[in-house]
Structures are given as structure tokens and as C-alpha cells.
Amino acid sequence: MKKGCLIGGVVGLLALAAIVLIWGINLNNKIKMEDQSVQKQWSNVENTYQKRTDLIDQTVSTVKGAANFEQSTLTEVINARAKATSTEVKINDASDLTPENIAKFQQAQDQLGGALSRLLVSIERYPELKAVQNFSSLQATVESMESEILFERRKYNDAAEKFNKMIVTFPESFVANFIGAKEKGYFKAATGSENAPKIDFSN
């Protein structure tokens, strides 16, 4: 009788351990899948910023050829671009998506966006630049690019919020603490960021 109870107890404990293990594995996989969703959306954010960087390179290259163009404005864009793409603000993987790193990345990118806007506005004083084919559709391109960046940033924030809520909610929080899952940072709206830059080339 005692032997039967002992065997039954061992089987029961093993069954309980198996249930707990399966439960933990399922929660771990759930957290990992949400982490992958954040990483995927971060890639989309990076791609949109890369498109803007390519646009800036083309713009700077064209402007450099203009006689007597404001060197200080051009230099501001070049310096802001260098800072925005430096290793100091580069986010290499999901573990780097901390609130501090996201804030640093956003600050550098926002500075570059502001410098680009000032550069495009200054082009108004250079009719020869406005006549260049590359600038004929620049207003629409810039507005579209800024809108795309804001769209992808919002989607990233949604993915990060879902992940962050998961890792602080029981029972996922138990597994999250065990595997070392960390909070993801958010992009914050800058003043006026809800509106794409308005650049008028009609004059």
C-alpha cells in the first residue's frame, strides 16, 4: 500500500513538474515572439531613416554644386547626418532598445530632420537650385518621407508597448524576470511632429 502511494506521489510530482515546465516554455516562447515583433518593427524604423539619409546625401550633393550657397546651413546638415549615423546612437540589436538609447537615437534623428528642413527652406533663395530637376519633386518626397517615419515609429511604439505590458503582467513577468527580458524604449512626439514639414517651392 505504502509502495503504491509512493509511486503515485512520484508520478504526481513528475506530472506537476511537466505541467510547470510546459507552462514556462509556452510563456517563454510567447515573450520571445513579441520580442521578435519589436525587432521586426525596429528594422522598419531603421529602413525609413535610411531612406531619409539617402535623400539627404543626394540633396547635399546637389546643393554643393551651387555657387555661393550658405555654407553654414550645409555644414549643419552634414554634421547632423554624421551624428545621427554615428556608433554612439547606433542600435545594433533588441537588447539595445532601452529607453535611454531610444531617446538618444531620436534626439539625433530629430536634429537631422530639423537641419534638413532648414536646408530646404534656404533653397528658396537660390532660383538656380529650384530649377534643378532633383528639386522639382523634393517637397512631396520630404513630406512623404517624414510621414512614413512617423507611421513606422507609431507602429514600433505599439509593438514595444505590447511587449512591455506583457513582461510586467503575471504570470509572464515571472518568466520575463527569469530570462532577463528588459523594457523597450518608446519614441516620444516632438513639438510639431504630428505635422510633416511644409516646404513651399512654388515661389
**What's the mean pLDDT in 146-170?**
95
- Average pLDDT in the 151-166 region? 96
By the 10 Å C-beta count (0-12 exposed, 13-18 middle, 19+ buried), 142 is classed as buried
* Complete domains list, the chain, with CATH: 34-179 (1.20.1440.20)
Q: Is residue 3 very low, low, confident or very high in pLDDT (cuts 50, 70, 90)? A: low
The mean pLDDT value for 75-84 works out to 92
Whole-model pTM? 0.82
Q: What is the pLDDT of residues 34-62, one digit of tens each?
A: 999 999 999 999 999 999 998 888 888 87
* Between residues 107 and 64, the one the model is more confident about: 107
Please tell me the distance from the alpha carbon of residue 179 to that of residue 198, in angstroms, as a whole number: 46
Question: What is the pLDDT at residue 197?
Answer: 46
pLDDT band at 192; cut points 50, 70, 90 = low
